[in-house]
Every structure is written in structure tokens, then in C-alpha cells.
Chain A
Amino acid sequence: AQSVTQLGSHVSVSEGALVLLRCNYSSSVPPYLFWYVQYPNQGLQLLLKYTSAATLVKGINGFEAEFKKSETSFHLTKPSAHMSDAAEYFCAVRYSGGGADGLTFGKGTHLIIQP
């Protein structure tokens, strides 16, 4: 069964510091990978996605992620954290290209930004 592991339920960084949120997936075939952000009391917003094109994917709000097949990873980064980045971040995977399958989500990482 497909699974997604997000290391660290909580990550705390200082404002202006590098943000690194880790995501590993289990798969023997190339997946579709997604990062979503959820602000308090809001729905999920798509940050970025990997769909077998470029391995370095740029998303909204200055975030990017790199697909590394050899490490089965899709870590999310941002060079300089902003207070507004404080939120819950979810990594998700899907194995069908046609969109027929739903997403499998990681447990989420709560990002805390220290002033």
C-alpha cells in the first residue's frame, strides 16, 4: 500500500531562516507528489506538485521541492521564512496519472515561525 511519511510533526524556525519540511514516499513506480498548506480554520491550498516533469518544482509563496527518486523523497524548502508561513503542511501522493485515485496524505507538519 502506498504511504507517505513526514518527518517531524512540528518544525520551528526563526523568521528569515531556511525552511525544510521532509517527505518520503513508498513506491516502486513514479508517483504524483503534492504539497498542500492549511492555514488555521481554512481548507487546503495547493503549494506545488511533481508530475514527472522537472525534478525541481517551484510553487507559490517562494516554496520549492525537489523530487529525488533514489531517496524516494520530496522535501519542501523555502530560503527565508516569513511569519505568514506559519501553518500546517501536508505532503500527499497519488499513483494514477488519470486522477482516478484519491490522494494519500502524510500526517502533516506544523510549521512554527519564531520572531
Chain B
Amino acid sequence: SAVISQKPSRDICQRGTSLTIQCQVDSQVTMMFWYRQQPGQSLTLIATANQGSEATYESGFVIDKFPISRPNLTFSTLTVSNMSPEDSSIYLCSVVPSGRTDTQYFGPGTRLTVL
């Protein structure tokens, strides 16, 4: 299985600021995704991180709020911009390993609290 690390693991931020979350995988992957898990809720797909091109966002999520980069096959960042308390969530990176398209793994998540 792919080993996924995320930085930071948690953070407390002030409203109006931005936070960039990093996702690093130990092997090349086909697909990388970003999910949000609001307190006590299930997971919601934010976007697909496309290597070398703009991310593909799900309905309700926009690039200005959640800019995403994926410069290579093993690394991606998600920025949560102009944060408000409603952005307090766990943000998870997820990958589909190369050659293993029938499965999907998740990183440990970044727990974000916005005051």
C-alpha cells in the first residue's frame, strides 16, 4: 500500500488567514484527491489534483477558496484561503496507486481549527 504523509497534522488558525496543507506519497500514484470531513460528518470530495494542470473541483468548491497544486506524481498541496470558522474540518489527501486502480488510500488527515 502507498504510504501517505500530511503536514501539518493539525493547526489552529485565525479567521481571514490561509493555510497550505502538504501531501506526500512514497510512490507514484495515478490519482490524487482532496477530501473534507467536517466535525461529526462523512467525507466530501473537494477536488481531483491533476498533475501539471488545474485541479478539477466538485460542486460547491472553487479554486479561489481551495487552490490546489500537484507539481509531480507524488506531491500535492491544498490551500484553504481566507478561512472562517466554517472551514474547521479534517482535510484528507487520498491516492489511487499506479497499477492498482481498484483501490484508494487515505492520508492521516490535517485537523484544522479556525477561531
Instruction: Please report A residues at the B interface, Cβ cutoff 8 Å.
Output: 32, 34, 36, 41-46, 49, 51, 90, 92, 94, 97-100, 102-108
Contact = CB atoms under 8 A, between A and B. Distances in A.
A94 B109 CA distance: 21
Given A99-B96, A100-B31, A43 B43 contact: no
Contact of B104 (A99, A106, A107): A99
24 contacts: A41-B111, A42-B108, A44-B43, A44-B92, A44-B106, A46-B103, A46-B104, A46-B105, A90-B43, A94-B104, A99-B30, A99-B96, A100-B48, A102-B35, A102-B45, A102-B58, A103-B43, A103-B104, A104-B45, A105-B42, A105-B44, A106-B42, A107-B41, A108-B42
B104 A34 contact: yes
Contacts of B31: 99-100
Interface of B: 1, 30-31, 33, 35, 41-45, 48, 58, 92, 94, 96, 101-109, 111
A99 to B, nearest CB: 4
Contacts, number: 60
Given A49-B102, A97-B101, A103 B92 contact: no
A99 B92 CA distance: 17
B48 to A, nearest CB: 6
